[in-house]
């Protein structure tokens, strides 16, 4: 496997700037997490955008789509802000022969108790295991694009049918 990671910003990559008394999107944290994860596959991380996902425009999504479509690698993880992750997933519809997994974080990766490392692991595990398609890896779950929404108040991703605890064994 050669994994292509496209970083677009979001909470995952947020850093704190004392001089601004504010948070900004920093450089992608994915390389550091993969190093900590002691991964043994080849990968590239490319920073496409450094934005809160609420600020992403149609042009930004067109850029992401173009870069994914042009990517020579089959396994693609996109790190992304959580608020409009499902919109970007929708904008990728129709790209064939790729396993595309979007993930992000509810707490900046630089926090001690962030969900970032777990989520990136989740995405990498899914990217290796699923058939071609577009997926969202959040809240410990793998969703097919189009079947999922962010429940902002509850701080989680859930299926549109709200069938989040099906009684499978």
Is residue 11 flagged as an active site residue?
A: yes
Contacting residue, 50, 74, 147, 149, with a second copy by CB under 8 A: 74
Cβ of residue 143: shortest distance to a second copy, in angstroms? 10
Query: Which element (helix H / strand E) includes 119?
Result: helix 116-129
Contacting residue, 50, 65, 67, 83, with a second copy by CB under 8 A: 83
Contacting residue, 27, 42, 62, 163, with a second copy by CB under 8 A: 42
Q: How far is CA 142 from CA 60, 133, 138, 151, in A?
A: 24, 12, 7, 15
- Segment 98 to 117, residues that bind a second copy, using CB under 8 A: 106-108, 110-115, 117
Cβ of residue 79: shortest distance to a second copy, in angstroms? 14
Contact indicator for 42, 74 with CB cutoff of 8 Å: no
The HSE-up count of residue 124 (CA atoms within 13 Å, CB side) is 22
């Amino acid at each position: 496997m050669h994994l292509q990671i496209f970083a677009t910003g979001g909470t995952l990559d947020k850093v704190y700037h004392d001089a601004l008394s504010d948070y900004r999107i920093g450089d992608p944290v994915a390389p550091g997490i993969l190093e900590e994860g002691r991964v043994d596959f080849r990968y590239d991380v490319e920073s496409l955008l450094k934005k809160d996902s609420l600020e992403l425009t149609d042009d930004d999504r067109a850029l992401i789509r173009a870069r994914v479509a042009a990517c020579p690698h089959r396994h693609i993880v996109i790190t992304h802000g959580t608020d409009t992750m499902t919109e970007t997933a929708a904008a990728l519809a129709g790209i064939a022969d790729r396993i595309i997994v979007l993930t992000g974080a509810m707490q900046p990766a630089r926090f001690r108790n962030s969900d970032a490392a777990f989520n990136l692991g989740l995405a990498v595990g899914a990217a290796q295991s699923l058939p071609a398609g577009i997926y969202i890896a959040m809240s410990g779950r793998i969703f097919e694009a189009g079947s999922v929404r962010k429940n902002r108040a509850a701080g989680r991703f859930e299926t549109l049918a709200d069938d989040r605890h099906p009684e499978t064994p």
